Structure 1
Amino acid sequence: MAKTDPILGSRTRSNEVGEEQLWQWTATEMASAVATGVVSSREIVESCLERIDEVNPHLNALVEVRPEEALSLADDADRRRVAGEQLGPLHGVPVSIKINSDQAGYATTQGVVAFKDAVATEDSPHVASLRRAGAVLMGRSNSPAFAYRWFTNNDLHGRTLNPWDDSRTPGGSSGGASSAVASGMVPIAGGNDIGGSVRYPAYACGVVGLRPTAGRVAQTYHPDDVDASLSVQTMLVQGPLARSVADVRLTMSALNDFSPRDPAFVPGARVAAKPRHPLRVGLVRDLGVAESTDAVNAALDQAAYWLQDLGYIVEEIELPVLREAYKLWYLLAMEEFRLAMPLVEEVGDEGMQKAAAHYYAVAAEWWGDKPDLETFIKGYSRRGTLIRELAMILETYPIIILPVSAEQAFEQDADIESVESMRRLMNAQASMMAIPVLGFPAMSVPTGIVDGLPTGVQLLGRRFDEDTLLDAATIIEARAGTFTPINPQ
């Protein structure tokens, strides 16, 4: 593999926004400063609120912020530090929560007008974990209706913009989270991922996003009295978006609490054994579905070189198991979602309805207009075989580098232009869907800026071995630098 020069556009946050202010600090820096009394949580929260006032009216990343409540939480964090109480890993650090996650006292709107008054009475388990870790919950991040698109727009809260280029998507469904983190409103944002909804927004906005192993973080999926589909129970995960790998690692240290409310949570899962060194890395350029652009291929080459330079052995491989899993997602997840389509037709917005129609039109080319029960059952049977196949490959290559997407951030609303446009996007996003089907951890790591837009790579690893991914991501970040926070372009 040829050595390549650093991708042009790499810069540190101080070069972008001038003299550093508290809102520009990483979460790790904030937590340390609060714990040692260097600064107060109130000072940090006030700085973030000022930043929100400055950039959120344009970006519309956070759709509900209650300054007095945030300041009260900060003051409580400061009191507990002064009192000598044991502090959690995120003590006094601002964090945002996505509008499809329950947060006591806030409506879980899902971006749907009909749900604007659906106020939660209890935190979802992952939100409760963040609160116990000392996080200051700052506001609610925007999402498409029902978290259904790779674009963040809905009739209730409006459109969220990408701070790099408002003609491009900030990603979805955690687009409000990625836009808020990239622009400096909060250092950490909660997201969730069943089809790329953490990894793709992180990629589109130039931040780090981790999709943990399925079962690694306790969560709820719907109100407790609503039955969640099997695909939601087996594929959906909660994961953080942040401006640095260290901040993602810090957040994951807080998201490990047991909850009896999650039927798929795996309490006390044994961490995978450390892989042998020198560690072999598989490099996958595409899944045989969509050809990657030059910018994407350059990012793969660069990340591979940086790892090689630190002693990793990188070998190009093919991964047909993911190509098959990609199409399987559109059988298992989308056929179960079909049961919710009457509700979508009743309360979903026009963008979501068009996106759904286009998803089903493309998927019908593989599975037919209405797959029968036998096809569906065999699909789940095949899923188990693919999980085993990928697990065995990962014993040889404990890390696989592959594209997040075959392109950089899509043009706004490209999914609803036509069926053909949706087909292009679905193919570009093949790994976004393939990995959730199989339940493995993966993360998006930025590598540079090309033509004014972020680019990066995806790291895929063994189940319950997020640490190996984070270690490799730390190397990539150390060589690439960080690219956020930025002022909206």
Structure 2
Amino acid sequence: MTPPIPVPASAASIAAAVRAGDVSALEVVEAHLDRIARRNPDVNALTVVFADRARAAAAEIDATVAAGSDPGPLAGVPFSVKENIDLTWSATTNGWGGNAGAVPAQDATIVRRMRRAGAVPVGRGNMPDFGMRWDTDNDLFGRTLNPWHSDRSAGGSSGGDAVAVATGMSSLGLGNDFGGSLRLPAYAAGVVGLRPSQGRVPRAAVRGQSVALTLQQFSVNGPLARTVDDAALALGVMEGWDADDPVSASAPAPVPSGAGAPRRVGVVRDAPGAGADPDVAAGIARAAASLVRDGWDVVPVDAPRLEEAAVLWRRLSCTDMLISLDPAALGQPLGRSATAFLRDSTAAARPYETAREYAEAWAQRAAIAADWRRLQVEVPLLLGPVSASRLRGPDYDLGGSEPADRAWRDLWLTVAANFLGLPALALPTGLGEDGMPTGVQLIGPLWGEDILLDAGRAVEAGVPRLPALF
């Protein structure tokens, strides 16, 4: 085996070096496989490792470079694929034992696009059963541990991919975000998580199978990365219309974005009714100061009808989960922790019991979205916490309706973005007093990723860098 070699830290620089012939894709892959062998036994982030297939894909990229052709903008970049995103040589388990043999017939569109761009899949990222929890654990693969402190949660549900990126086992991770499932693990692991606008990145429906309305409206695929530029690079590869996803689109809606938008950011410092943890508040202050230094106008705001949005997201989600995850429909029970989470969360959320209540909740979404849209004409971006609290211990979202309620309450701003289909970017802001990464999120207007990423770069440039975990 080729000995591990130093490789550039970012996906963009790896791709540039491979395309220029300064390093081979095979050497890059071997270096990452070596990291996986050293780090994964301690954190259990990757459930399956594709060593031989990754080497074969890297050899093809090197042959393309040797022939004088361009292998793509992600040439040789190793990436991980969450357990609920289709990859033809690996079961799409959704973290659930009932799908242990569910090998798909074709790659998901985003996997296909990543591979065509020259990226190399190196493994599967762990997740809780069907992505339900805000922690990453399941009966099939076990728990993913936080690489900073094992007594803290790794977040969920894209916890495996976030930890793989943070520890250098992959350069990019493919995950999804139904209620913070990219942004919360990014916050926990100290990486960047981008939840794109609804419809910007395909999330295919299984042909002939129905899809819960909340899954259609709240969940999107997106990247995890170590830098904002890498997240933007991955977005550019994955985005665009797809025949298998009726929600996907190619052209942005006519909303303020890019050069025509006011460079104004509204700061949401506290969740209503509960102040933010001091380390959380300090991270927000560092991000706001970075934006001011970069010339942004930073003003205090109240997120419109935030509690109402969070309540509606939760009640609608739990109503649909009770139907789609019924053991009678699945054919066998969920895992132990997923069963407990569903029980505790639905007890606290009060799912809708009548069609009228369910329909009225969806009708109310439009009114809340209009309030946010009016605000974002003048204040395009909102800056605030991913979680109002620091990440607590493993299984912090279990133990009855009270812990479930607290876990959800910390994430009001996060789930509001899901409820409204808005793009949001989570990124680290240095270390807290507890030795864990601090972080913030920026929420943009629909299809406003350009201005969102510009602001993210300004924050990233102005806050302390985290020490490397590899």
TM-score of the superposed pair, with normalisation by structure 2: 0.95
Return the offset for 1:289.
4.5
Partner AA of 2:264 in structure 1:
R
Partner AA of 2:310 in structure 1:
Y
Give, in whole Å, the separation in 1 of the partners of 2:240 and 2:117.
Answer: 10
> Which residue number in structure 1 is paired with residue 377 of structure 2?
395
Q: Any idea what SS the aligned residue of 2:442 has?
A: strand
> What per-residue deviation string (whole Å, max 9, x for no partner) do you get for residues 344-397 of structure 1?
693311100111111111112xxxx64321111011111111111111111111
Return the offset for 1:249.
1.0
Return the offset for 1:465.
1.2
Q: Any idea what SS the aligned residue of 2:284 has?
A: helix
Partner AA of 1:342 in structure 2:
D
Q: 1:84 to 1:321 in 2, by over 3 A?
A: farther
> What per-residue deviation string (whole Å, max 9, x for no partner) do you get for residues 390-412 of structure 1?
11111111111011000121210
Q: 1:422 to 1:277 in 2, by over 3 A?
A: closer
Matched pairs, number: 463
Q: Any idea what SS the aligned residue of 2:305 has?
A: helix
Q: Any idea what SS the aligned residue of 1:210 has?
A: strand
Is it true that 1:239 corresponds to 2:238 in the alignment?
no
Give, in whole Å, the separation in 2 of the partners of 1:131 and 1:290.
Answer: 44
> What per-residue deviation string (whole Å, max 9, x for no partner) do you get for residues 151-194 of structure 1?
11101111100100111111100000111011110111011001
Q: Contact between 2:242 and 2:249, CA under 8 Å: does it hold in 1?
A: no
Is it true that 1:438 corresponds to 2:438 in the alignment?
no
> Which residue number in structure 2 is paired with residue 417 of structure 1?
399
Give, in whole Å, the separation in 2 of the partners of 1:342 and 1:117.
Answer: 20
Partner AA of 1:64 in structure 2:
V
The unaligned stretches of length 5 or more in structure 2 are: none
Partner AA of 2:337 in structure 1:
G
Is it true that 1:480 corresponds to 2:463 in the alignment?
yes
> Which residue number in structure 2 is paired with residue 45 of structure 1?
29
Q: Contact between 1:275 and 1:398, CA under 8 Å: does it hold in 2?
A: no
Give, in whole Å, the separation in 2 of the partners of 1:94 and 1:319.
Answer: 38
- Pairs within 5 Å for 1:28-107: 28-107=12-91
Q: Contact between 1:307 and 1:475, CA under 8 Å: does it hold in 2?
A: yes
> Which residue number in structure 2 is paired with residue 17 of structure 1?
none
Is it true that 1:224 corresponds to 2:210 in the alignment?
no
Is it true that 1:348 corresponds to 2:330 in the alignment?
no
Give, in whole Å, the separation in 1 of the partners of 2:253 and 2:401.
Answer: 44
TM-score of the superposed pair, with normalisation by structure 1: 0.91
Partner AA of 1:363 in structure 2:
A
> What per-residue deviation string (whole Å, max 9, x for no partner) do you get for residues 34-56 of structure 1?
01010010000000000000000
Q: Contact between 2:153 and 2:396, CA under 8 Å: does it hold in 1?
A: no
Return the offset for 1:81.
1.5
> Which residue number in structure 1 is paired with residue 447 of structure 2?
464
Partner AA of 2:430 in structure 1:
G
Counterpart of 2:344 (choices 347, 351, 358) is 358
Q: 1:423 to 1:331 in 2, by over 3 A?
A: closer
Give, in whole Å, the separation in 1 of the partners of 2:150 and 2:22.
Answer: 37
Q: 1:177 to 1:23 in 2, by over 3 A?
A: farther
Counterpart of 1:215 (choices 196, 199, 224) is 199
> Which residue number in structure 2 is paired with residue 326 of structure 1?
310
Q: 1:129 to 1:277 in 2, by over 3 A?
A: closer
Q: 1:404 to 1:345 in 2, by over 3 A?
A: farther
Give, in whole Å, the separation in 2 of the partners of 1:277 and 1:216.
Answer: 19
Partner AA of 2:41 in structure 1:
P
- Bigger relative CO (Cα 8 Å, ≥ 6 apart): 1
Return the offset for 1:341.
3.5
Q: Contact between 1:149 and 1:352, CA under 8 Å: does it hold in 2?
A: yes
> Which residue number in structure 1 is paired with residue 139 of structure 2?
155
**C-alpha root-mean-square deviation of aligned residues, in Å?**
1.7
Give, in whole Å, the separation in 2 of the partners of 1:431 and 1:167.
Answer: 25
Q: Any idea what SS the aligned residue of 1:96 has?
A: strand
Q: Any idea what SS the aligned residue of 1:404 has?
A: coil
Give, in whole Å, the separation in 2 of the partners of 1:158 and 1:277.
Answer: 45
> What per-residue deviation string (whole Å, max 9, x for no partner) do you get for residues 198-246 of structure 1?
011000110000000000001214x323211111111110110011111
Q: Any idea what SS the aligned residue of 2:247 has?
A: coil
